[in-house]
Amino acid sequence: SSLLLMSGVVVAVGLCRRLARRRLRSQPRLFAFLVEMFSTFQICACTNELSLLGNVEPKPHTALTLTYGFTVLHGLTLAGSTCNPCGTLQPVWGGGTSLSMGGLKVAAQFVAAVLARAFMHFIWSLEMAEPHFGALSQGCSSPMQTTEMQAFCIELLFSVVFQLAVLRAESVNPKYRVHLIALLITMLVYAGGNLTGAIFNPALAFSLHADCFYDRFLSYSLVYWIAPSLGKFLILCVF
């Protein structure tokens, strides 16, 4: 049921992106906002569902296999979208995108994060699959299983590694690049998923753990917003 749900989200987002591409080419700002919102919605919704499957046996093999598979699927179906506020900084910093357009895309990403969370909570309330039972009663299921300073350093390091790999992979054939990036993300999730969740995406972090941001805003904004943004800034300064 979870796989069907995530596949349905991917298909629906693909149809919405295609419709926007056909109807809104003459309105570039609205087109950019909607495409980025649809794309980020897909990643946030699917990752919310994947987070419930972490304890499916055999673990962690099932969760890591699904992470790799859906990361490849996202890479193939969401070409042209960053779906990450940190990734949006690069063209803005380099002058390829205006500050207003960059801000518009970041706004779209956080709108999508909220919509994806609301949508998944509605789906979970229907309790169509076993992992959905009790999912809404968890509250802040904190992914931070270490000290705040260590969590900050881990998310910073993972953001640097990920953003550096994305830059270095730009010269790789796209059909191989998506697998390289998916493999890297899976390795990072395996290495740090039990400590911080290995998210390194501010919009995705907010979609997954909004309750934790409400309860401990300063701590979670430092680890899941400032750390990955600082990692991206360091990469931009170096390269």
* Beta strand spans in the chain (E): none
> Rounded distance, CA 139 to CA 206, Å?
14
Higher pLDDT, 38 or 216: 38
Burial class (CB in 10 A: 0-12, 13-18, 19+), 8: exposed
pLDDT of residue 158: 93
Mean pLDDT of 119-139: 82
Calculate what percentage of the chain has a pLDDT beyond 90. 57
On average, the pLDDT of the chain sits at 89
Query: What are the sequence ranges of the domains in the chain?
Result: 2-238
From 15, 32, 5, 221, select the one nearest 108 (Cα to Cα).
32
> Rounded distance, CA 217 to CA 140, Å?
12
Mean pLDDT of 191-200: 89
Structure tokens at 164: 């550096």
pLDDT of residue 10: 96
Structure tokens at 85: 């506020």
pLDDT over threshold 90, residue 61? no
pTM for this predicted structure: 0.93
From 138, 137, 135, 115, select the one nearest 124 (Cα to Cα).
135
What is the Rg, in whole angstroms, of the alpha carbon atoms belonging to the chain? 17
2-238: what CATH class?
Answer: mainly alpha
Element (H, E) at 149: helix 148-168
Higher pLDDT, 49 or 174: 49
> Rounded distance, CA 66 to CA 209, Å?
20
Structure tokens at 208: 């997954």
> Rounded distance, CA 96 to CA 46, Å?
30
